[in-house]
Amino acid sequence: MSTPKTPAKPAILSVDDDPGVSRAVVRDLRKRYGEKYRIIRAESGDQALETLREMKLRGNAVAVIVADYRMPGLSGIEFLERAMDLYPVARRVLLTAYADTDAAIDAINVVDLDHYLLKPWDPPEEKLYPVIDALLDAWASSSHHPAEETKVVGHRWSGRSSDVREFLARNQLAYRWYMSDEPEGQRLLSAAGVDELSLPIVIAPNGDVLVEPTDAELADKLGLSTTLSEDFYDLVVIGGGPAGLGAALYGASEGLRTVLIERRATGGQAGQSSRIENYLGFPDGVSGA
């Protein structure tokens, strides 16, 4: 029996090109929030965006983003503006010096800034933690948190998109469907670097992206058995419907090395049944799964 996967903790992301300031921010955040949140550090806006794209594809949640205002390349405001496209409900904080206060106020309208903090913020118990506490409470009250599961992005009228969803459902692989013309579907396409001409795409729980995958590619990536484990078998059953399952079950019970080969989904319709009464070998009944 497999152990249920523990969901990854939501993240707090800190972005600052100054190593000293960056370490100080992460130190204070980890001290207070490290038990319940992943504290992630990036040293540039571009690096932070790449991190956010990978997390988006994996279905990881981001609760708060803390960015420095003055950074080479992407400024803090420019970075937060792009980060909104990937994580629109993550709370956004801008770190500023006293001289940049006016720019921080302007950013409230540009990137829907939640708060700005003047550096230095010592002591954190008075100037940092109350702000982050309030933002985490606000984030936790929202219901738009990502899910760590297979994601399918496609067009609602696409035959292949429908086939992919049916394949996953028949094999009892949990997935979430996103239409390509809706905001969250657009965010996933952007994170994957794929355009709407290459649909459907399937994003595995580990963040790997499959573009217009075949059934065999889906099965291999999502953990279905697609290769033989032995070089020789006594009995090969072609077709995994109820009759094929019965033949394989009785063959194996007689000590024969048995392999069952199925094209689409083992069990067919029976595989999706909640309960099969008096199934052979299971007099008290058994679920299709």
Phi, psi of 21 (to 5 degrees): -65, -40
- Is residue 113 very low, low, confident or very high in pLDDT (cuts 50, 70, 90)? confident
Q: What is the mean pLDDT of residues 199-218?
A: 92
In angstroms, how far apart are the furthest CA atoms of the chain? 82
Question: What is the per-residue pLDDT for 3?
Answer: 46
Residue 223, sorted as left (phi over 0), alpha (psi -120 to 50) or beta, turns out to be left
Q: 12-26, 69-83, 99-113, 186-200 — which is least confidently predicted?
A: 99-113
Q: What distance lies between CA 161 and its chain's CA centroid?
A: 19
- Is residue 1 very low, low, confident or very high in pLDDT (cuts 50, 70, 90)? very low
Question: What is the per-residue pLDDT for 219?
Answer: 87
pLDDT beyond 50 at 249: yes
Highest mean predicted confidence (pLDDT) among 32-46, 114-128, 168-182? 32-46
pLDDT beyond 90 at 170: no
Q: What is the mean pLDDT of residues 100-128?
A: 78
Q: What is the mean pLDDT of residues 126-139?
A: 91
Any idea where the domains of the chain sit in the sequence?
11-140, 150-221, 228-289
How many other C-beta atoms can be found within 10 angstroms of the C-beta atom of residue 142?
Answer: 12
Q: What is the mean pLDDT of residues 121-147?
A: 82
Which comes out higher in pLDDT, residue 223 or 110?
A: 223
Alpha helices (H) along 141-228: 159-170, 183-192, 215-221
Question: What is the per-residue pLDDT for 275?
Answer: 67
- Whole-number percent of the chain with pLDDT over 70: 84
Radius of gyration of the CA atoms of the chain, in A: 25
The structure tokens listed for 199 are 């649909």
Strands 175-179 and 115-118: unpaired
Question: What is the per-residue pLDDT for 241?
Answer: 82
Query: Which residues neighbour 112 within 8 Å (Cβ) at sequence distance 6 or greater?
Result: 84, 92
Burial class (CB in 10 A: 0-12, 13-18, 19+), 285: exposed
The structure tokens listed for 210 are 């499959």
The structure tokens listed for 203 are 């994003």
CA nearest neighbour of 18 among 105, 64, 76: 76
Question: What is the per-residue pLDDT for 272?
Answer: 65
**Chain segment 153-163, per-residue pLDDT in tens:** 999 899 999 99
Question: What is the per-residue pLDDT for 2?
Answer: 42
Q: What is the mean pLDDT of residues 27-48?
A: 95
Question: What is the per-residue pLDDT for 5?
Answer: 56
Query: Which residues neighbour 20 within 8 Å (Cβ) at sequence distance 6 or greater?
Result: none
- Answering whether pTM is above 0.85, one says no
C-alpha to C-alpha distance for 92 and 86, rounded to whole angstroms: 13
Q: What is the mean pLDDT of residues 82-89?
A: 89
Q: What's domain 11-140's superfamily in CATH?
A: Response regulator (3.40.50.2300)
Q: 79-93, 114-128, 225-239 — which is least confidently predicted?
A: 114-128
Of 3.40.50.970, 3.40.920.10, 3.30.365.10, 3.40.30.10, the CATH number of 150-221 is 3.40.30.10
The structure tokens listed for 82 are 């792009």
Alpha helices (H) along 59-182: 76-86, 101-110, 124-127, 129-140, 159-170
Q: 7-11, 56-60, 63-67, 276-280 — which is least confidently predicted?
A: 276-280
Alpha helices (H) along 87-128: 101-110, 124-127
C-alpha to C-alpha distance for 113 and 132, rounded to whole angstroms: 13
Strands 201-203 and 209-211: antiparallel
Q: What is the mean pLDDT of residues 138-152?
A: 74
CA nearest neighbour of 129 among 12, 22, 10, 43: 12
The structure tokens listed for 89 are 């409900």
Question: What is the per-residue pLDDT for 62?
Answer: 95
